[in-house]
Amino acid sequence: MFEKLEFIDVSFEYEGRKILDNFNLEITRGEKVAIVGSSGEGKTTFIKLVLKYISPHKGKILVNGKPLSEFEEWYKILGVLSQRAHIFNRTLRDNLLIANPNATEKEMYRALELAGLKKFMQNRDLDTVLGSDGGNISGGERTRIALARLLLREPEIVILDEPLEGVDKLVEKEVINNIRDFVKDKTLILISHRFSILSLTDEFAVLENGKIVERGKYHEHSQDSLLKRFFKAEQELTEKFRKGDSI
Ligand SMILES: Nc1ncnc2c1ncn2[C@@H]1O[C@H](COP(=O)(O)OP(=O)(O)OP(=O)(O)O)[C@@H](O)[C@H]1O
């Protein structure tokens, strides 16, 4: 059973350029943490390390006190939703059964509905072929099919990497609420630029210059906290954009 994930003095570099630099972070069972940071600060790099796609150049990543590299059950207890989710050139059914080979049709339709695909399913069924790397579907539909896949599993830890990419505002709220139900008793690590989805987490950790420079609970953070400044900057940019100013 998952108890604790620890990054201890982890450094990672791309071509000699340090992305994570003595990075420390601890996430314990049941915690829901958003990793917040500007573009290019290393959020995806952190997720790649968690997923074992890459290994640290220095430092340790431990799960329940043991090296992550030796934790064989890791992918079984992990559920990931990322914008880069792979869609196979098979039927929708096949794409969902990858997540859970025992899922019934009823469960699959339910997961698709919870993922905000009710309208999409109006003129399709589970035998719809999705095309080469999801060539027959839109980016937002790809994300939601990947979400339906996640909802068919019961992972202990959920990793959401920009989970609403391409999902329009009309279904966003409903999808967020369904994700909230799903992660209720799970550990959650989230990366997103959308304020709305950060409401899924209780805590944030700000990543800057390769380190977590601030961590706390939303309701406790002060007016001049980095989180506040970060959001303010993002909000100002969004406002400017809306007004058509050049940015
Ligand atoms: N394969 C790679 N080779 C070289 N540099 C890379 C590679 N992948 C990422 N980088 C660089 O590492 C830095 C961190 O990238 P990362 O994707 O982790 O940032 P991020 O915080 O997730 O950004 P964003 O919010 O824009 O997705 C960036 O400057 C990026 O250009």
Locate the domains of the chain by residue range.
Answer: 4-84+157-243
**Does 41 contact ligand 1 (Cβ within 6 A)?**
yes
Express each pLDDT in 71-98 by its tens digit: 889 999 999 998 778 888 899 999 999 9
- Specify burial of residue 122 (Cβ count, 10 A radius: 0-12, 13-18, 19+): exposed
pLDDT < 50 stretches in the chain: 246-247
Q: Quote the CA–CA distance of 114 and 110 in Å, as a whole number.
A: 6
User: The CATH number of 4-84+157-243 is which of 3.30.930.10, 3.30.70.580, 1.10.1240.10, 3.40.50.300?
Assistant: 3.40.50.300
What ipTM does this complex have? 0.96
* Res 50: pLDDT: 96
* Res 189: pLDDT: 97
* Res 247: pLDDT: 45
* Res 245: pLDDT: 56
CA 45 to ligand 1 center in whole angstroms: 7
Q: CA nearest 163: which of 152, 149, 231? A: 149
Q: Point out which residues pair with 4 in neighbouring strands.
A: 28
Atom 5 in ligand 1: which residue has the minimum CA distance?
Answer: 14
